[in-house]
Amino acid sequence: MNLAPEVLEDLARDEQTLIQLADLSEEEAASIPTWWAEVLALPEGDRMARAIIEWNRAVPNRFPKFLDHLARTGTGIYLVRDTNMRLHLLYVARDIDNQRPTCWAGSTPLAGDDPAIRTALPFELIRFHTTIHDAFRLADGWNNGWLPMSEMFAFSEYIDPDDSDLEFRGTPPDFDPHNVDFGQVIAVYIDSSYRYAVDISGSHGSSAGWYWVGGDLWPIANFWDNVDEFMLVATR
């Protein structure tokens, strides 16, 4: 395996074990999608391009900036097993300044009948979690990225429209936060400071959402565009 020493050190620190397809038990082999196996069977230098095809097939044109960066700087995709025996695909690329390796880890997707699936989410988001990865996070710290569906939460759990410390930005002058059902605003992507959420109160194909940082909340017309940009910036 052609992995930089920094990547190997990070894997050892996080107790992630690099494995091959041949190392999988029968149960583990049955748990990964066919496209994972097809990617891992390719030479290391060809794997990223093959994976990008699957991303674009599942959610076309939703990650143009991030996937373009992976296509240009990606060096390989590898299979890892964590201490809880969960499997992940490790995507290795260069940071946006091309100075050092940056890794993202994607968990196995949910089965189509998994009870954790939030059926009210936009159909493209469901397809991403059930065909590509249920969680997709920066491997450095594991606290930046797409939440697994089981860890998604409604903003109403933390947000009170009457909170005087809460500021609503980018809203019209007559905006009333009491007219927003924050129980229908579901956090899908986070890091240590930011929360991106999709508003599921509209149509099943809606891309409307909210962006929450500190005490500020911003409505966003297309959360896919915002998250695509944020994933690119996070790769540094």
Tens of pLDDT along 10-22? 776 677 788 999 9
Residue 76 lies in a domain: yes
**Token pair listed for 130:** 């059930």
**Neighbouring C-alpha atoms within 13 Å toward the C-beta of 43:** 2
The pLDDT score that the predictor gives to residue 185 is 94
Q: Does position 9 have pLDDT exceeding 80, yes or no?
A: no
Q: Does position 39 have pLDDT exceeding 90, yes or no?
A: yes
Question: Are 124 and 173 within one domain?
Answer: no
Confidence of residue 49 (pLDDT cuts 50, 70, 90): very high
Q: Which of 73, 88, 98, 96 lies closest to 24, judged by CA?
A: 88
| Least confident stretch, 2-11, 76-85, 187-196 | 2-11
The pLDDT score that the predictor gives to residue 12 is 66
Contact by Cβ (8 Å): 103, 142: no
Q: Does position 202 have pLDDT exceeding 70, yes or no?
A: yes
Residue 235 lies in a domain: no
Residue 232 lies in a domain: no
Mean pLDDT for all residues in the chain: 89
Question: Are 25 and 96 within one domain?
Answer: yes
Contact by Cβ (8 Å): 90, 26: no
Give helix 64-73 / helix 223-234 axis angle, nearest 10°. 30
The pLDDT score that the predictor gives to residue 144 is 85
Tens of pLDDT, residue by residue over 113-139, are 899 999 999 999 999 999 999 999 988
Question: Are 139 and 98 within one domain?
Answer: yes
Q: How many domains does the chain have?
A: 2
Last residue of a domain, one of 149, 178, 213: 149
Angle 150-91-104 from CA coordinates, rounded to 5°: 45
Domain containing 20 equals 5-149
